[in-house]
Structure 1
Amino acid sequence: MRKRIMSLIITIGFVATISMQVMANPLSDKLSNQKSQLESQKNAYKKAQSNNESIEVSIEKLDSDIEKMYAQVDKTKVKVGETEKQIVKTTKDIQVAQDNIKKEQDLYDLRMRSMYMNGVDNYVEVLLDSEGIEDFISRAETVKTIVQYDNKIVAELTAKKSEVENQKVALETEKTKILLLKADNEAKLAKLKDTKKDQSVLVLEAAKQEKSYSGNVNNGQATVDATMKQIQQMKDSVPKYTASRGGSSSLSSNAVVAYASNFLGTPYVWGASGPQFFDCSGFMQYVYAHFGVSISRTTFTQINEGTYVARENLQPGDLIFFGTQSNPHHVGMYVGNNSYIHAPRTGDVIKISALTRGDYLTARRVK
């Protein structure tokens, strides 16, 4: 009897073990599938986020290129205008030179006609008609002076005419080159505008993709939210700053960031320097100008302002640049908490972003 009971207990235990294993396997499989799905969602989101960032950078580059191209076109227009004015002036100078030459020639012809009418065909006859050696010498000196004067005036005016005519030819050549450059710039600009339209469509699509995954994976919004709270604390703590045109070595970083945050939501427009619209470098220039600190206008020049700052030593208010050494196409302001405020691109507004992008280039500190 005792053996039967023991056998029954062992059998029940064996069956229970098998049942637990059978139950455990589906749970394990379910958990594995859930992990796999979550990982797949993360990868899909990262891919969408990477695609979106790539397109954002492309738009920034286009904004930078378009701004440079417009600047080139504007410079060319000014140069064309200046050249045209110079050509008009040169044309007038040529006309004056021609009139002077004509007057001198008319005066010369008048003297010759007068001499002919008085029975003298040329200067030789004037000399031959002299009465005695003293009269001959006197007439010779007079004739010599007249001839030298005639030759000098005609030579000077002729040289001036030649010089001015050569200048006109050079200016006309320069004008042709400038007009060709202008046409080339405008053609490039038109192409860039077309490309921007195509990129804008991709940006919208990428934004949709990122939004569809934002509920499943943290996309850095928590960092941005925390930074916004931090900036609000700055705004509450800093006193109202009165601008000093000479700048200040004791300029508060918190004051700079707090002032910059007043423009959150302001639309991006290339070439704009505020306050209704900004591009990236115009925004930086405007903010620092409020504190009497003068910095240059473009990303290309701002990257040489102030002093270099290593990424690990960034402080609020530092200018941070993105792109390559040969093409720094974007600039923003570090605000702390691994975040920065910037005017991103066409179609976007001034905002705070997490400093996670891969094309970080360098940073500069201006005070």
Structure 2
Amino acid sequence: MHKKLVSIIAALGVTLSCTSNALAAPLQEQYNSSLQQYQNALKGVQDIEGKISGIDNEIEKINTDISNTGKKISQSQDKIAEEQKKLNESQEQMDSEQNTYMQRIKAMYMSDSDMQYLEVILNSKSFSDLIANVENVKNLVQYDDNIMNNINKQKQNIDKQKKVLEADNSKLEKLQSQNNSKLSDLKNKEAEQNKLLASEKSEEDKHKADMAKIQGAMDAEKKKLQALSVPTAPSSGNQHANTNITQSSSGSATGLAVVKLASQYLGVKYVWGGTTPAGFDCSGLVQYVYGRLGISLPRTSEEQVGAGSPVTGPLQPGDLLFFEPGADGPGHVGIYAGDDTFIEAPHTGANVRISPLRDYCAARRIIK
């Protein structure tokens, strides 16, 4: 898209240089007006795409949070189930001991065990023997009560732990609900931005078509003048355009190899988390292309911005460009392709493409 624009402007420079006094002024005015509107629409498209890319990054983080919180909820529910199992086992043991206790009480009354306990005490041979026998009888009477008390305390402790786990699980589920609500809001925002993007692209295409028509009219006028032997010496503006192209093509052969390889994946769909030609996200494309050339790079744009060295002079093909600065680092990355363009996997709903160069927050040179 941008290269075509450069070509149109360069061609316009040639036309104007050879026919500055011959072309009708209205054509030039119309072209300038369409060019300005086209550039405004193009900037609008780039701004909206930047917003969509930022929303994509937020969605990625929320999806990670949802996944992590889901794992914590699953672990919490497993612990609650484990404590409930212990609680059920404790209740069963308590019921069993209580039943045994009741059977013993019933047997005691039926067999006059109180008299048996009394005989044990009265038949004591000495005072110390009496004290011991009284203590034994007391222990026998309290034995079942102690068992019941211990089981009941254990049950209370388990029940208390279960309530703590349930409270923690409730907090996690509330957090998960908030995460899902945020995700829904972000998707709605992204849908709104996509509608605006479609509108801006339609406006861009309209003015691009208008420019082509006007350029055609100017080319036709130029041919008429050339038939009258009007000189056609190149203008200084055209030489400047050619100089830019030459400079952008003079990068290292390896840097150009990066661009050439990346261009093979133009049209591949954007896939969040994608790292193969089946679908790329921005950093996945960069990592894959450099990996194919034997250069290992980190996975994310936040990590890739630390690779290589900062670019201090003019950009060269193969340089990495970073956009959307954030607290964790830049949220988007692309590969400089020369001629003020770069290759990127832009955002959900778009494909790998060549885009006009826009403001970036960092540039790194991987290949010296």
Determine if the TM-score, normalized by the shorter chain, exceeds 0.5. Answer: yes
How far off its partner does 1:295 sit?
A: 2.7
Q: What residue number does 1:205 align with?
A: 199
Which residue identity lines up with residue 67 of structure 2 in the other structure? Answer: D
Asked if structure 1 preserves the Cα contact closer than 8 Å seen for 2:248 and 2:338, the reply is no
Q: What residue number does 2:166 align with?
A: 172
CA distance in 2, matches of 1:195, 1:89: 42
CA distance in 1, matches of 2:116, 2:306: 75
> 2:50 aligned to 48, 57, 62, which one?
57
Q: What residue number does 1:47 align with?
A: 40
Which residue identity lines up with residue 60 of structure 2 in the other structure? Answer: E
Q: What residue number does 2:362 align with?
A: 362
Q: TM-score, normalised by structure 2?
A: 0.66
Asked if structure 1 preserves the Cα contact closer than 8 Å seen for 2:297 and 2:307, the reply is no
How far off its partner does 1:89 sit?
A: 1.8
Residues 1:309 and 2:310 are matched in the alignment: yes
> 1:96 aligned to 89, 92, 112, which one?
89
In the superposition, relative to structure 1, how do residues 106 and 194 fare at CA in structure 2: closer, same or farther (>3 Å)?
A: same
How far off its partner does 1:209 sit?
A: 2.5
Asked if structure 2 preserves the Cα contact closer than 8 Å seen for 1:224 and 1:353, the reply is no
Q: Unaligned 5+ residue runs, structure 1?
A: 1-26, 235-251
Q: What SS is found at the alignment partner of 2:321?
A: strand
Which residue identity lines up with residue 357 of structure 1 in the other structure? Answer: R
Moved more, 124-133 or 68-77: 124-133
Residues 1:191 and 2:185 are matched in the alignment: yes
How do 1:269-348 residues align onto structure 2 when only pairs under 5 Å count? Answer: 269-287=271-289, 291=294, 293=296, 295-296=298-299, 298-299=300-301, 301-302=302-303, 305-306=306-307, 309-310=310-311, 312=313, 319-326=320-327, 328-334=330-336, 339-348=341-350
Q: Unaligned 5+ residue runs, structure 2?
A: 1-19, 216-240
Q: Relative CO higher for 1 or 2, CA cutoff 8 Å, sep ≥ 6?
A: 2
Which residue identity lines up with residue 74 of structure 1 in the other structure? Answer: S
How far off its partner does 1:203 sit?
A: 1.6
Which residue identity lines up with residue 326 of structure 1 in the other structure? Answer: A
CA distance in 1, matches of 2:135, 2:243: 99
Residues 1:265 and 2:258 are matched in the alignment: no
Q: TM-score, normalised by structure 1?
A: 0.66
In the superposition, relative to structure 1, how do residues 121 and 332 fare at CA in structure 2: closer, same or farther (>3 Å)?
A: farther
How do 1:56-205 residues align onto structure 2 when only pairs under 5 Å count? Answer: 56-121=49-114, 125=118, 128-129=121-122, 131-133=124-126, 135-139=129-133, 142=136, 153-205=147-199
**Count of residues paired in the alignment:** 317
CA distance in 1, matches of 2:73, 2:45: 42
How far off its partner does 1:46 sit?
A: 2.1
Q: What SS is found at the alignment partner of 2:361?
A: strand
CA distance in 2, matches of 1:181, 1:188: 11
CA distance in 2, matches of 1:186, 1:289: 35
* Identity fraction in percent: 31
Q: What SS is found at the alignment partner of 2:279?
A: coil
Asked if structure 1 preserves the Cα contact closer than 8 Å seen for 2:90 and 2:154, the reply is yes
Q: What SS is found at the alignment partner of 1:87?
A: helix
How do 1:10-21 residues align onto structure 2 when only pairs under 5 Å count? Answer: none
RMSD: 4.5
